[in-house]
């Protein structure tokens, strides 16, 4: 692939040629010796075309994209990102009020005034800083205030707020923060303030955030489809295959790559640039680690505060539960006392009931004995009654028999009388 790049960029030298020039210069030799093996390999790979130059390096980006020298390059990139024709009127001094530790996280920070008066702040961040949303809003507000002061100073009494134009904050992240990875399918995020009611007011602040690492991952093994993708690949993809694809589809990029390799021809100069980038990268990494640790510390403090509040609330709940428990215990003791008294009364009543039951049982036994005697007497009575009835029946029979005999006697008597009277 090195031969492939050299076909387009004949100024690319061999590894031996680069090392020979480094060894001929005491300054270059000393500088080269300060690097570790990985850094040496990266430098030699860039100079010999094994890999392309990282265009996110501040020195290369400002050299290739310098709006004072090549305004058309930055104009085209901004036009594609903002979806409108952009013409740069002038480059403004970067007199932002940012703190030094915040600026150290930036690779590139360029502010330009556009033809219609709008301002655009183009940033490249090697490592996405903490709270990118909040910081972006603050930088945008700073940019808007700068424009307001400048325009008001120029217009003086003729100034109206209509003279203040839109400010664009455009941030490229070489390594984006976790928020961007929650929606990995998107790598260009555009935003402006809108009202949920549909009220149409220009709030003057717009944002374009581009996580280059997500773009590179999303387009891996895919071809470039348009000029914007070519620009984004130009900024983040240093593979020779991608460089050849960009140059093949959009030949105007060849001039930019030629300028890069012209810069690489000055070994001492490019080593100085590379050393500055490594130093800046180390500083950025340290600052990022500090911010990351601070963020973790803040999160830990927040978690401790939340835990403390939770403990205090739990303590209050426990105290309230203890108070309720003591009150319940007091009521329980009173209830237990009442229960004991009732139990004592119950036992007295139970004893009385047992005595009454005993008396009842005794009376029941006597009753049963009496009942048995009554039953026996009833049985005797029934037997006597039966005997009496039989006797009555026998007496009645005898009576009837006597009456029959008596009747027969009377009839005989009548017959005798008649016989005696001679009536028969």
- Arithmetic mean of pLDDT, 211-222: 92
pLDDT of residue 108: 66
For residue 249, is pLDDT > 90? Answer: yes
Split at pLDDT 50, 70, 90, the class of 292 is: low
Three state DSSP letters for the chain: CHHHHHHHCCCCCCHHHHHHHHHHCHHHHHHHHHCCHHHHHHHHHHHCCCCCCCCCCHHHHHHHCCCCCCHHHHHHHHHHHHCCCCCEEEEECCCCCCCHHHHCCEEEEEEEEECCCCEEEEEEECCCCCCHHHHHHHHHHHHHHHHHHHHHHHHHHHCCHHHCCCEEEEEEECCCCHHHHCCCCCCCEEEECCCCCCCCCCCCEEEEEEEHHHHHHHCCCCCCCCHHHHHHHHHHCCCHHHHHHHHHHCCHHHHHHHHHHHHHHCHHHHHHHHHHHHHHHHHHHHHHHHHHHHHHHHHHHHHHHHHHHHHHHHHHHHHHHHHHHHHHHHHHHHHHHHHHHHHHHHHHHHHHHHHHHHHHHHHHHHHHHHHHHHHHHHHHHHHHHHHHHHHHHHHHHHHHHHHHHHHHHHHHHHHHHHHHHCCC
Percentage of the residues of the chain whose pLDDT score is greater than 70:
88
pLDDT of residue 100: 41
Split at pLDDT 50, 70, 90, the class of 293 is: low
Split at pLDDT 50, 70, 90, the class of 103 is: very low
For residue 216, is pLDDT > 80? Answer: yes
Per-residue model confidence as pLDDT tens digits over 306-361: 888 888 888 888 988 888 898 988 899 898 999 989 899 999 999 998 999 899 88
Per-residue model confidence as pLDDT tens digits over 363-404: 989 989 998 998 888 899 888 988 988 998 899 898 888 888
* Domain residue spans of the chain: 2-311
Report pTM: 0.65
Q: Which carries the bigger pLDDT value, residue 324 or residue 278?
A: 324
Choose the weakest-confidence range: 35-44, 88-97, 217-226, 347-356: 88-97
Q: Which carries the bigger pLDDT value, residue 288 or residue 168?
A: 168
């Amino acid at each position: 692939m090195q031969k492939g790049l050299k076909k387009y960029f004949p100024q690319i030298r061999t590894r031996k040629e680069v090392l020979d020039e480094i060894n001929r210069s005491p300054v270059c030799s000393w500088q080269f010796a300060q690097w570790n093996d990985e850094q040496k390999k990266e430098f030699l790979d860039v100079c010999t075309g094994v890999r392309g130059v990282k265009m996110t390096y501040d020195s290369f980006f400002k050299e290739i994209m310098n709006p004072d020298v090549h305004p058309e390059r930055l104009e085209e990139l901004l036009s594609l990102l903002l979806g409108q024709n952009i013409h740069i009127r002038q480059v403004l001094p970067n007199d932002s009020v940012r703190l030094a530790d915040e600026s150290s996280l930036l690779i590139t920070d360029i502010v330009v005034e556009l033809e219609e008066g709008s301002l655009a702040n183009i940033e490249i961040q090697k490592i996405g800083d903490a709270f990118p949303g909040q910081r972006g809003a603050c930088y945008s507000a700073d940019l808007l205030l700068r424009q307001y002061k400048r325009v008001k100073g120029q217009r003086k009494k003729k100034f109206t707020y209509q003279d203040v134009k839109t400010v664009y904050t455009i941030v490229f992240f070489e390594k984006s923060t976790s928020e961007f990875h929650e929606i990995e399918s998107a790598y260009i995020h555009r935003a402006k303030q809108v009202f949920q009611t549909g009220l149409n007011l220009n709030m003057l602040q717009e944002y374009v955030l581009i996580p280059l690492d997500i773009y590179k991952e999303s387009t891996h093994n895919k071809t470039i489809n348009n000029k914007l993708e070519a620009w984004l690949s130009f900024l983040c993809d240093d593979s020779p295959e991608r460089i050849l694809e960009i140059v093949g589809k959009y030949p105007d990029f060849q001039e930019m790559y030629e300028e890069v390799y012209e810069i690489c021809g000055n070994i001492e100069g490019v080593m100085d640039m590379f050393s500055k980038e490594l130093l800046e990268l180390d500083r950025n990494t340290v600052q990022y680690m500090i911010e990351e640790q601070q963020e973790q510390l803040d999160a830990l403090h927040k978690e401790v505060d939340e835990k403390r509040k939770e403990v205090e609330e739990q303590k209050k709940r426990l105290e309230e539960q203890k108070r309720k428990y003591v009150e319940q215990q007091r009521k329980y003791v009173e209830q237990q006392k009442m229960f004991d008294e009732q139990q004592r009364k119950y036992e007295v009543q139970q004893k009385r009931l047992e005595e009454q039951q005993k008396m009842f049982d005794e009376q029941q036994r006597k009753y049963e004995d009496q009942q048995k005697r009554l039953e026996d007497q009833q049985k005797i009575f029934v037997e006597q009654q039966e005997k009496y009835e039989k006797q009555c029946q026998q007496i009645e029979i005898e009576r009837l028999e006597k009456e029959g005999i008596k009747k027969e006697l009377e009839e005989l008597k009548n017959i005798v009388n008649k016989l005696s009277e001679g009536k028969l």
